[in-house]
Amino acid sequence: MSLTKRDWQSITLSAVLLAVAACLPLTGDAYMLSIGITIAMYAVLATSWALFSGPTHYISLATAAFFGLGTYTTAIGIENGLNYWVTLPIAAILGAVLAALVGLATLRLSGVYFVIFTLGLAELVRQVVTWGQNVSGQKGLYVLTDITEVHIYWQLLVLAGIVYLTGWAIGRSRLGFALRIIGDDEEVARHSGINTSRAKILLFMVSGATAAVVGSMLAPRYIYIEPALAFTPMLSFLVVIMALLGGTGRLWGPLVGVIPFTLLWEAISASFPNQTTLLLGLSFLVIVYLLPRGFVGLIESSKRKLREREAFA
Which residues lie near other proteins (CB under 8 A)?
Answer: 29-31, 34-35, 38, 127, 130-131, 133-134, 137-140, 142, 144, 218, 221-224, 226-229, 232, 234, 266, 269-271, 273-274, 276-277
Nearer to other proteins, 41 or 102 (CB): 41
Q: Which helix (H) or strand (E) holds 141?
A: strand 141-142
CB 30 to other proteins: min, Å: 6
- As measured in angstroms, the least distance from the Cβ of 173 to other proteins is 35
Distance CA 236, CA 307 (A): 38
Angle between helices 233-246 and 30-56 (to 10 degrees): 80
Q: Angle CA(222)–CA(223)–CA(225) in degrees, nearest 5?
A: 80
* DSSP per position, 242-270: HHHHH-SSSTTHHHHHHHHHHHHHHHHHH
Residue among 135 and 290 whose Cβ is closer to other proteins: 135
State the minimum distance, in angstroms, from the CB of residue 14 to other proteins.
26
Least separation in angstroms between CB 243 and other proteins: 18
List C-alpha distances in Å: 29 to 25, 151, 163, 194.
Answer: 7, 15, 27, 51
Minimum distance of other proteins from residue 220's CB (angstroms): 10
Task: Quote the strand ranges of 153-273, DSSP E.
Answer: 224-225
> For other proteins, which is the closer residue by CB, 1 or 135?
135
List all residues 6 or more positions away from 280 whose beta carbon is below 8 Å from its beta carbon: 265, 268
Cα angle, residue 32 at apex, residues 28 and 35 outer, rounded to 5°: 145
In the complex, minimum distance from the CB of residue 16 to other proteins, in angstroms, rounded to a whole number: 28
CB of 218 to other proteins, least distance (A): 8
- Gap between the Cα atoms of 136 and 132, Å rounded: 6
Q: Of the two residues 113 and 131, which places its CB atom closer to other proteins in the complex? A: 131
Residue whose CB is less far from other proteins, 216 or 248: 216
Nearer to other proteins, 204 or 265 (CB): 265
Nearer to other proteins (CB atom), residue 124 or residue 291:
124
Which strand (E) or helix (H) includes residue 129? Answer: helix 112-136
